[in-house]
């Protein structure tokens, strides 16, 4: 029954958002200092993976972020921020360890996790924001 309710909720949300849901990506978008604020304010729920190319745990986490983006298409949008290339955003959110995942709801930072956490843990954090 709860999956039926969830299906109805998603259908109603899609109707209310119109074409906006069709534009929601199912894979993480690359974000930078120049478009970060616009990105987190564009969608109701945004999750940003902050990483660097030399970081082993970041490379381990990347496929998990890709899977979550597909799992939550239409409900959450995922982004990836290279902290080596985007110092201003990394400093603004006090990212001192990577990977760091930032969680935004309606443009506001509501949570932050650090480390290559298991998919179930990250999924739980996303679910909390969507609730």
- Catalytic site residue from 47, 48, 58, 129: 58
Whether 112 and 98 have beta carbons less than 8 Å apart is answered as no
Tell me, yes or no, if 58 is annotated catalytic.
yes
CA 4 – CA 108 distance, rounded (Å): 30
- Annotation says 50 is catalytic: no
Determine the Cα–Cα distance for residues 76 and 117; give it in Å rounded to an integer: 18
> Which is the catalytic residue, given 55, 65, 77, 116?
55
Give the residue numbers annotated as catalytic, written as ranges.
55, 58
């Amino acid at each position: 029954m709860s999956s039926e309710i969830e299906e109805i909720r998603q259908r109603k949300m899609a109707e209310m958002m119109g074409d906006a849901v069709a534009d929601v990506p199912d894979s993480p978008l690359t974000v930078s200092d120049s478009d970060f604020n616009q990105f987190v304010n564009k969608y109701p729920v945004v999750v940003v993976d902050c990483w660097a190319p030399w970081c082993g745990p970041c490379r381990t986490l990347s496929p998990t972020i890709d899977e979550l983006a597909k799992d939550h298409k239409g409900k959450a949008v995922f982004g990836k921020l290279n902290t080596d290339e985007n110092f201003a955003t990394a400093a603004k959110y006090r990212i001192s360890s990577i990977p760091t995942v930032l969680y935004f709801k309606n443009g506001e930072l509501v949570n932050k996790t650090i480390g290559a956490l298991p998919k179930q843990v990250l999924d739980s954090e996303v679910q909390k924001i969507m609730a």
